[in-house]
Amino acid sequence: MQQLFTRVSVIGVGMIGASLGRALLSRKLAGEVVGFDAAPAVLETAQALGAISRSASSLEECVFGAQLIVLATPVGTAVSLLPEVSGLAAAGSIISDVCSTKKQIVQLAETLPDGVSFVGGHPMAGSEKDGCQALNEKLFEQAVYVLTPVKDGDPSALVTMKKLVRRLGAEPLVLEAGEHDELAGAVSHLPHLAAVALVRSLERRTEQRQKFLFLAAGGFRDTTRVAMGNPEMWKDICLSNRENIAKLLTDYIKELEHLRLLTLSGNEEALDGAFRLARDFRRQFRARAEELPQPGRFI
Amino acid sequence: MQQLFTRVSVIGVGMIGASLGRALLSRKLAGEVVGFDAAPAVLETAQALGAISRSASSLEECVFGAQLIVLATPVGTAVSLLPEVSGLAAAGSIISDVCSTKKQIVQLAETLPDGVSFVGGHPMAGSEKDGCQALNEKLFEQAVYVLTPVKDGDPSALVTMKKLVRRLGAEPLVLEAGEHDELAGAVSHLPHLAAVALVRSLERRTEQRQKFLFLAAGGFRDTTRVAMGNPEMWKDICLSNRENIAKLLTDYIKELEHLRLLTLSGNEEALDGAFRLARDFRRQFRARAEELPQPGRFI
């Protein structure tokens, strides 16, 4: 397959950055992947795992000569690095990111001087696992990979990014950053907070904790698995998508309140209907992986 | 291995009843398993799948001559069948159930005439999958299997049930029925309602539904998988454990409200701490399967 970039920089070699680096290398989409991380020890591991071709000891060295620079850090860090990175980037290069919220970084990118192109990215794939050891070069296969262009951005940068996403085995979906944050709030951030709150409300029952550990089965483990995710990343997501998340939580609380009242009043018919509706809607999600829609379906 | 019963009746041959029947037969714990179901067509399938040795065309025929009778229906049905079943059961036999709530059925069992023994049962294993086709004879292996005796019950019936549970590869845990319902409320019923409310609050956003279906990834699917569970069973669970569930939902809503306020106010330190606490407590559950505690730890 044809190489897309001679050099790609990956800034932040955690689970996503390392998975991306390795997928770029094993699919021969990049001639080399240069990694940089705030924790230099990570870079040795990443290189040993084939996630990067070589490591850089500074941001400047990492970015030098790359046609694509990917910020693969929590969103707060990505936002604080973007101005410097865009100053260091070669003319004509593309900067992207893999963060779970897009509005804040896209708005910042729109204020950057001309010369480099920014295209936001969010692969809708992940794991509660942390760190480059958890890399999975197949992470992007069959995943939806959202791209959020900046206003009046270079259309050719978006074309290149779409091509990259397809070559990673993923499905590109171009969304306006604000719409992305609403949708990701609902399908990712809200479920995360729901799981975290579940775990926390059990943790508070100190006298029953040991028995919870003994009794909890697969249902509990599935429902709360995401609560093991990286705290810094999730703190950043909450901060950068706070209005959407607050609104989604308000509606979620109303729904819980509704189910609480149906339970307390013993409304059999309404409870049965509520569970049926949830089951039927949830079943539609089960089928999705087998029936990926046509590219560009929402564009 | 030594046979424990010459004949076992399974009333209700859904996923749990069929899994139990097949485990009893394949482990040679029962000479035969006789099945009865409100939907007679199920019985043919169950027999073909090796979940029952033969089917009965009436409750009376099913119960006749059995040393163990297991009610494997939703709890509302089990409660309504128990008086009749106990009238039909042979003297000295044991009646058990597999329902997710225990107080209601145990209280009823305490009012039954002498001659048969009731020991409540709740295998802490399951699936969102319905019906005898979803049977899994390994379902009970490594699972915790709660037993809830009646007040002043025959101790030898409890001994027999513990032996059965161990022979199924599960870990017996004897609990008072009320305590079971509190604990199961927290580790199973609350997570279920949290997942159902998540799915319902997305379903309400009719204009975004199609995009949710496209964007939702593994995190959403894990968190909401249980919402595909059997509506009738879950309606019955809510009705029979309503006070515990209502109280747990109230506390859960408070926790969500707390996270909402931290998000809205952008309290970085508190959000980070909240996520860390949840991650650390949740990680303790991950390890459980590998380190089953000693039998009788809570007794």
Judge if A106 and A172 occupy the same domain.
yes
Given B152, B175, B198, which residue is the final one in a domain?
A: B175
What is the domain-level CATH number for residue A83?
3.40.50.720
Q: Is the pLDDT of residue A97 over 80?
A: yes
Q: How many domains does chain B have?
A: 2
Question: What confidence score (pLDDT) does residue B1 get?
Answer: 63
Given B175, B206, B232, which residue is the final one in a domain?
A: B175
Of A186, A194, A266, the CB nearest to B212: A186
Please indicate, yes or no, if residue A294 is contained in any of the structural domains.
no
Question: What confidence score (pLDDT) does residue A259 get?
Answer: 98
- H/E element, A77: helix A75-88
Judge if A136 and A246 occupy the same domain.
no
Please indicate, yes or no, if residue A295 is contained in any of the structural domains.
no
Per DSSP, B12 falls in state S
The confidence band for A290, taking pLDDT boundaries of 50, 70 and 90, is very low
Mean pLDDT of A66-70: 98
Instruction: Name the token pair of B198.
Output: 């998540």
Question: What confidence score (pLDDT) does residue A128 get?
Answer: 85
Between β-strands A171-174 and A144-149, what pairing exists: parallel, antiparallel or unpaired? parallel
Give the tens place of pLDDT for each residue, B246-266: 999 999 999 999 999 999 999
Please indicate, yes or no, if residue B293 is contained in any of the structural domains.
no
Q: Say what angle helices A190-203 and B268-288 make with each other, to 10 degrees.
A: 70
Please indicate, yes or no, if residue A296 is contained in any of the structural domains.
no
Judge if B13 and B122 occupy the same domain.
yes
Question: What confidence score (pLDDT) does residue B216 get?
Answer: 95
Question: What confidence score (pLDDT) does residue B297 get?
Answer: 36
Please indicate, yes or no, if residue A297 is contained in any of the structural domains.
no
State the average pLDDT for chain A.
94
Q: Which residues of chain A are within 8 Å of residue B256 when distances are taken between CB atoms? A: 193-194, 197, 249, 252-253, 256
Is B173:B147 a contact under the CB 8 Å cutoff? yes
Report DSSP letters for B221-241, one per residue.
Answer: HHHHGGGGS-HHHHHHHHHHT
Q: Is the pLDDT of residue A293 over 70?
A: no
Q: How far apart are CA B51 and CA B57, in angstroms?
A: 16
Judge if B12 and B139 occupy the same domain.
yes
Q: Lowest mean pLDDT: which of B130-139, B161-170, B286-295?
A: B286-295
What is the domain-level CATH number for residue B229?
1.10.3660.10
Question: Minimal CA–CA distance to A71: which of A6, A22, A142, A16?
Answer: A16
Q: Could you tell me the pTM of the whole model?
A: 0.93
Q: Which residues of chain B are within 8 Å of residue A285 when distances are taken between CB atoms? A: 212-213, 216, 220-221, 224
Record: contact A235-B200, CB cut-off 8 A: no
Q: How far apart are CA B84 and CA B71, in angstroms?
A: 12
Give the tens place of pLDDT for each residue, B108-145: 999 998 889 999 999 999 888 889 999 999 999 999 99
Q: Please, which residues 149-178 of chain B have a Cβ atom closer than 8 Å to chain A?
A: 173
Q: How far apart are CA A58 and CA A56, in angstroms?
A: 6
Mean pLDDT of B66-88: 97
Residue A141 DSSP SS3: coil
Residue numbers of the domain that contains B255: 180-288
Q: Is the pLDDT of residue B294 over 60?
A: no
Q: Is the pLDDT of residue B16 over 90?
A: yes
Judge if B10 and B115 occupy the same domain.
yes
Q: Is the pLDDT of residue A292 over 70?
A: no
Judge if B37 and B170 occupy the same domain.
yes
Per DSSP, B134 falls in state G
Residue A225 neighbours by CB under 8 Å, 6+ apart: A128, A195, B219, B222, B223, B282
Instruction: Name the token pair of B60.
Output: 């009376």
Q: Is the pLDDT of residue A295 over 90?
A: no
Distance from CA of B24 to the nearest CA of A (A): 22
Give the tens place of pLDDT for each residue, B182-208: 999 999 999 999 999 999 999 999 999
Q: B245-284: string of b/e by CB count within 10 Å (b at 16+)?
A: bbbbbebbbebbeebbebbeeebeebbbebbebbbebbee
Q: Is the pLDDT of residue B170 over 60?
A: yes
Given B148, B175, B202, which residue is the final one in a domain?
A: B175
Instruction: Name the token pair of A31.
Output: 């001639």
Q: Which residues of chain A are within 8 Å of residue B231 when distances are taken between CB atoms? A: 272, 275-276, 279
Handedness of CA A253, A212, B176, B119 (dihedral sign): positive
Q: Please, which residues 188-227 of chain B have a Cβ atom closer than 8 Å to chain A?
A: 188, 190-205, 208, 210-227
Question: What confidence score (pLDDT) does residue A114 get?
Answer: 86
Give me the residue label for tokens 């209700």.
B12
Mean pLDDT of A259-282: 98
State the average pLDDT for chain B.
94
The confidence band for B286, taking pLDDT boundaries of 50, 70 and 90, is low
Distances (CA, A) of A279 to A285, B130, B163, B239, B285: 10, 12, 36, 19, 26
Please indicate, yes or no, if residue B82 is contained in any of the structural domains.
yes
Judge if A15 and A66 occupy the same domain.
yes
Q: How far apart are CA A136 and CA A51, in angstroms?
A: 10
